[in-house]
A and B are shown apart, each in its own frame.
Chain A
Amino acid sequence: MLFPCQEIGSLRKPTWLLDYVKHSRVSEEDKERARNDAAYLNIKLLEDIGLDIVYDGEVRRVEMYEYPIRYVRGFIFAGEVRSFDNKYYKKARCVTDVVLKNNYHLNEFLFVKANAKKEVKIPITGPYTLADWSYNEFYNNKEEFVMSIAKKIIRPIVIELVKHGARIIQIDEPAMTTHPSASEMRVAVDAINECVRDIDAKFIVHICYSGNEYRALLPYAMDINVQQFALEFANRDTWNLGLDDDTRRGYRVLREFKEYGYKKEIGLGVIDVHVDDVESPELVRDRIVYAANLIGAENIYVNPDCGLRTRSRSVAIEKLKVMVKGTELARKVFE
């Protein structure tokens, strides 16, 4: 089937779950039951919407950075830093050598695996991003910091997940092209390759809001031992229908991918996760068709730009439904 649909990661947590787990009188056992319920609902929701590859909306994770850091000795949370507008994230200081306390993704993965009927893709925050979003007060340089996280934290987690049946693993590296210099990119590439070295699974790297439309990634894309890059595009695109370069300006950079001889899959971001306006199925169709004409329909997977947790659940659901409908329209074009 052309254009498999996948979620990229997080959904906003249900209000009832947040209220419940905050309650001091609720036992840890009951909180875990509530999280299981929420995870189950998310899995079924994504499957019912029609996604082909699912996870649990990262419902057990407080956030993609803070959650893993909690399980790594060597970090101390320093406080909250603004990401944009009124969005913040907790940022940690690395003050000693990193040590993995326990595999923070194993139980959630086993639950999803046991309950999903569709293919499962587990998202994991990558080593470069964990280092880049932290304050380094311990390691001599960035490379040492990133590689320590790759070797001592992420790789052991990946090995154990694969041993327990994980077949598709998405390494989230939103920071990867933040520093586009060759030396920084090389550190990121080496770290990912270290995480996936000789492991039998499908690997995806997710990058978003790179600031340079992935041009920093292009020279290295084929050197990174993963099968797919899932990227954000819709945020920079117009909302007009059409297949010309100007209308589809958010996706024009794919021409450069082609020129670089890019031959891997693309997880094509077709939904802007930072606005409540819902795209039309025809707009999604045109974005897919434009990209497919450039890099080949068989290479395209369809997803939102990034996790939808910044939107209400109702908006997120509408957007995902439209994504599936638009994908069906695009399939018809290529049939």
Chain B
Amino acid sequence: MDKGKDLDASIEVESYAVGIYPRSQLLVTATRKNNQNLPELFKKGKQSWINVQRRVGLTYIADPMIDWDDIFRPFAKVKGISIGPLNRFFETNTFYRRLIVSDVLEGYGRIARSMLALDLMKEDRKVASLPDPYTFSMLNENRYYKSYDEYLFAVADMLNAEAKTLANEGVEIIQLNAPAIAYDFSNGKLVELTLIKDAISRVKKGVKSKIYLYLYFGNVAGIFDELLDIKVDGIGIDTSSTKLTSIVEHSIDKDLIIGIVDTMNTKLEEVKSTASALHFILDRMDVKHVVLTTSNSLEYLPYRFAVKKVSILGKITRLLNAKQKGLTP
């Protein structure tokens, strides 16, 4: 492969951190006591996290989702959905309530919007996340739709309406979190992607924002070619599951989102060596645009370490940009 074939040094490497962030100790205590001022405290907590993201220089700013019980729970407000039993979220020690779909899905479109403090980010470039339709469908339970296809597409249509609203309100990037695709593939449970591709296309249809598909909790090197066929604007990998070197030979005609900062361990990444390693590999890849992010939600870290990790993400991005421009060795 030609060295540095397509990476355009004039296009900045960008960064963001989406998903549920950890709550500060103040909020931990307040939520434990079911403090009456919780809405106000959540708002302040969100503002604080937004300020952290700005301060460390992330390109896109995300609502820290500290008032989300889990990534699905707000969708319990959709007509046809009720709250089910507690379930483990993949191999983490974090749990979610499985949603039960027991009637036709209706009354959606502003569910995610209503839970995101976009008004606190008016001047910022904004990013948001939603579950991808496959992950949503697999981790929740269908008791209404006659077939899996029908259920999956109903979920995709719901997410499409949610994404359209976010796009119309100025969210530039919507990251579809797809841990179930990665996890099921790496465990030999995902036999084919055709249906999933169709569902993701339905989510993207008519949405003005960029749609990224982000895969974590499993090694997706073996289906990376197929993932590149999915009609989205970017594909993301968590490098603690899928090594960047394992996809180095692919010609990537979409944005590449790299989950480089590990949110599953407090061990802090060394900024210089991480940026140098990224620079070395990216220099050998056929990719036009790169976005750096965290391996997944920051909620798996205590607050103090999450702040450090977001800061490290900002530092790695800055140093990598300097390297790409030849400003530093």
Contact = CB atoms under 8 A, between A and B. Distances in A.
A, B co-complexed: yes
A137 B87 contact: no
Given A135-B266, A136-B265, A274-B86, A82 B96 contact: no
Interface string A131-154: 011011100000000000000000
A209 B267 contact: no
A314 interface: no
B305 A79 contact: yes
Nearest to A132: B93
Nearest to B89: A211
Interface stretch (A19-27, A84-92, A198-206, A295-303): A84-92
Contacts of B94: 81-84
B28 interface: yes
B69 A78 contact: no
A281 B70 CA distance: 33
Given A80-B25, A211-B87, A175 B32 contact: no
Interface string B300-320: 111111000000000000000
A183 to B, nearest CB: 13
Nearest to A232: B86
Given A84-B96, A133-B93, A209-B95, A78 B266 contact: yes
A66 to B, nearest CB: 13
B95 A83 contact: yes
A86 B32 CA distance: 6
B142 interface: no
A33 interface: no
B91 A179 contact: yes
A6 interface: no
A91 to B, nearest CB: 6
B299 interface: yes
Contacts of B93: 81, 83, 89, 132-133, 175, 178
Nearest to A272: B85
B302 A91 contact: yes
B267 A135 contact: yes
Contacts of B86: 84, 209, 235, 274
Given A84-B96, A86-B32, A211 B302 contact: no
A272 B85 CA distance: 10
B179 interface: no
A149 to B, nearest CB: 16
A217 to B, nearest CB: 14
B23 interface: yes
A263 interface: no
Interface string B84-110: 011110111111110000000000000
A157 to B, nearest CB: 23
Q: Which of A84, A89, A179 has the most CB of B within 10 A?
A: A84
Contacts of A181: 187
A274 B84 CA distance: 11
Interface string A227-250: 000000001100000000000000
Contact of B31 (A79, A86, A236): A86
Interface in A297-321: none
A286 B300 CA distance: 39
Contacts of B300: 81
- Most chain A CB within a 10 A radius of its CB, from B88, B92, B97, B265: B88
B87 A82 contact: no
Contacts of B64: none
A178 B87 CA distance: 11
Contact of A236 (B85, B267, B299): B85
Contacts of B265: 135-137
A137 B28 contact: no
A180 B88 CA distance: 13
A88 B32 contact: yes
B245 to A, nearest CB: 20
Contacts of B19: none
Contacts of A179: 91
A93 interface: yes
Contacts of B236: none
Contact of B302 (A78, A84, A136, A175): A78
B184 to A, nearest CB: 13
A79 B85 contact: no
A170 interface: no
Given A91-B302, A178-B93, A210-B88, A82 B267 contact: no
Interface in B1-57: 22-23, 25, 28, 31-32, 34
Interface string A64-103: 0000000000000011111111101101010000000000
A80 B87 CA distance: 20
A38 B237 CA distance: 51
B85 A137 contact: no
Nearest to B33: A86
Interface in B177-200: 187
Interface in B66-93: 69-70, 85-88, 90-93
Interface string A154-188: 00000000000000000000010011110000000
B28 A84 contact: no
Given A79-B303, A135-B266, 4 more contacts: A81-B94, A83-B94, A84-B94, A86-B31
Interface of B: 22-23, 25, 28, 31-32, 34, 69-70, 85-88, 90-97, 187, 265-267, 299-305
6 closest Cβ pairs, A-B complex: A79-B302, A211-B88, A84-B95, A86-B31, A135-B266, A137-B267
Interface of A: 78-86, 88-89, 91, 93, 132-133, 135-137, 175, 178-181, 209-211, 235-236, 272, 274
23 contacts: A79-B301, A79-B304, A80-B28, A80-B302, A81-B22, A81-B93, A81-B94, A82-B94, A82-B299, A83-B95, A84-B69, A84-B97, A86-B32, A93-B266, A135-B265, A137-B267, A178-B92, A180-B91, A209-B86, A211-B87, A211-B90, A235-B86, A274-B86
